[in-house]
Amino acid sequence: MVKYMKRCHDRHEKVVEFRQPEELNKLINFELKDTPEDLATVIDYCRETLNYCVKTGHPRFFNQLYGGMDIVGLCGQWLSATANTSMYTYEVAPIFVLMERAVLRHMGQLVGFSDGDGIFAPGGSLSNMYAISLARHKKFPTSKMEGLFSLPRMAILTSKHSHYSFKKGAYFMGFGLNNVVMINCDAKGRMLASDLENQIIHLQSQGIAPILVNATSGTTVFGAFDPLDEIADICQKYDLWLHVDAAWGGAIILSAEKRHLMKGMHRIDSISWNPHKFMGCPFQCSAFLTKKKGLLEECHGIPASYLFQKDKMTYDISYDTGNKSIQCGRHVDIMKLWLMWKAKGDQGFTKKLHHAYEISNYLTEKIRNRDGFELVVEPVYVSICFWYIPTAIRNLSDGDVKRRKLSQVAPQIKAGMTKRGSMLVGYQPMDDKVNFFRMIILNSATTFDDMDFILDEIESLGER
């Protein structure tokens, strides 16, 4: 593992040694048997596994909203794996429960919740589902006993650029996809507050009860920040739960220079903030925070006499966290984050963010000034969206033929970089925009030279 960590930081190493599934099936014997295999073979499996893993810690991995390799965080991950416990009671996780309380308190205070509550969840999607669950409980507390059967039809509102977890949450929790109202965005990907208000009025006129508005701070593709103050005004007017999905963008809270992008955050009811994204905490680590103390437990608490005995004489049972959660067993995600925060302080994360902005600004300037490259949208965060337009189609007039050809460019270049293993960058279409690249800059090891490298590589693959 230590060798692998070194390889992840070596630019001569490939980001991925890509193999097709049928090749990997030949390289590693995945099938299980009745009889044991010897230890040397088992260790070989470990070696082979790392050989074919994607090096997400490599400075040229830009594919996802996570990456990099924080050694302190990794040690925290190893330590909690060694401790092998569950977060549900103080009884079996005393130190981790106290760590979680301290980190949630600190994160809540940074958001502006003076006396809030929260929980670490297995990913941002689940954190967002916590918000839907609390919003429903707040509006219709009888839902805990009666389910959906005693309630009016409900809807949740979120922008067209928001994360798909709101749709997943809607069907998982029984609302149905038709009751997720997608609010229009401006050209920069920010929710249009005027459309939000129109949609709320329209829902109410049909007897549908909106229960939650989600605003996004750092949308998944453009990295846009919805206008929280304007949205909070509307939620206040119509008495709606305001959640912010800041899974990707929450780190800007740590920067006095950039925090204005989330102006109004102290007015929200809840927030999802994933330290495994920009902050570089080893996967996975997602915080759900709410202003409403006690609501998580009121909403999700179920007596379980084998875990949450009310007559425990060893300690104060308010330290048991299991009844805030929708899970039973809960992974210890806190140790790695707490240790990183101890080692860096707020300042360390702020420095990481400002470094990423410097690299992003450099890349943006290069894209602006280099033939064949074109920005899709002016970035406000560290997500840089752009097209590469090969020479062969550069002079075609705008129209269906050019769009069709351009839409094939990013997938072809992506296939090329994966085969070479030289770097990984994501792509997607968005609204009327055909496939474009989305570069995610978050690894502190990434340099200006890496940006020159990726543009050269994209051009070389795009001109083949």
Q: How wide is the angle at C-alpha 362 spanned by C-alphas 356 and 364, nearest 5°?
A: 100
| Contact set for ligand ABU, span 365-384 (CB under 6 A) | none
CB 220, min distance to ligand ABU, A? 5
CB 132, min distance to ligand ABU, A? 16
If one counts every other C-beta atom within 10 angstroms of the C-beta of residue 316, the result is: 8
Q: What are phi and psi of 182, to 5 degrees?
A: -95, 115
Pairing mode, strands 61-62 and 424-430: parallel
Question: Which of 164, 315 has the CB closer to ligand ABU?
Answer: 164
Q: Are 286 and 121 in contact, with CB atoms under 8 Å apart?
A: yes
In Å, what is the CA distance from 233 to each residue of 227, 230, 240?
10, 5, 10
The binding track of 415-454 with respect to ligand ABU, each residue x by CB under 6 A or -, is: ----------------------------------------
Does 220 help bind ligand ABU (rule: CB under 6 A)? yes
Does 167 help bind ligand ABU (rule: CB under 6 A)? no
Size of the site for ligand ABU (CB under 6 A): 4
The rounded distance, in Å, linking the Cα atoms of 119 and 285 is 11
Helix (H, G, I), strand (E, B) or coil at 422: coil
Question: Which of 99, 353 has the CB closer to ligand ABU?
Answer: 353
CB 123, min distance to ligand ABU, A? 7
Does 124 help bind ligand ABU (rule: CB under 6 A)? yes
3-state secondary structure 423-463: CEEEEEEECCEEEEEEEECCCCCCCHHHHHHHHHHHHHHHC
- Chain residue whose CB lies nearest ligand ABU: 64
CB 277, min distance to ligand ABU, A? 7
Does 122 help bind ligand ABU (rule: CB under 6 A)? no
CB 360, min distance to ligand ABU, A? 16
User: Tokens for 58?
Assistant: 């490599």
Question: Which of 45, 172 has the CB closer to ligand ABU?
Answer: 172
Question: Which of 220, 323 has the CB closer to ligand ABU?
Answer: 220
CB 425, min distance to ligand ABU, A? 12
Q: Are 319 and 97 in contact, with CB atoms under 8 Å apart?
A: yes
User: Tokens for 187?
Assistant: 């050209």
> For residues 373-398, b (16+ Cβ closer than 10 Å) or e, as one string?
beebbebbbbbbbbbbbbeebeeeee
The rounded distance, in Å, linking the Cα atoms of 270 and 136 is 13
CB 285, min distance to ligand ABU, A? 13
Longest C-alpha distance within the chain, in Å? 78
Does 65 help bind ligand ABU (rule: CB under 6 A)? yes
Q: What are phi and psi of 364, to 5 degrees?
A: -60, -45
Question: Which of 80, 220 has the CB closer to ligand ABU?
Answer: 220
CB 64, min distance to ligand ABU, A? 4
Does 157 help bind ligand ABU (rule: CB under 6 A)? no
Identity of residue 426: G
| Contact set for ligand ABU, span 226-265 (CB under 6 A) | none
Does 284 help bind ligand ABU (rule: CB under 6 A)? no
Does 64 help bind ligand ABU (rule: CB under 6 A)? yes
Interface with ligand ABU (CB under 6 A): 64-65, 124, 220
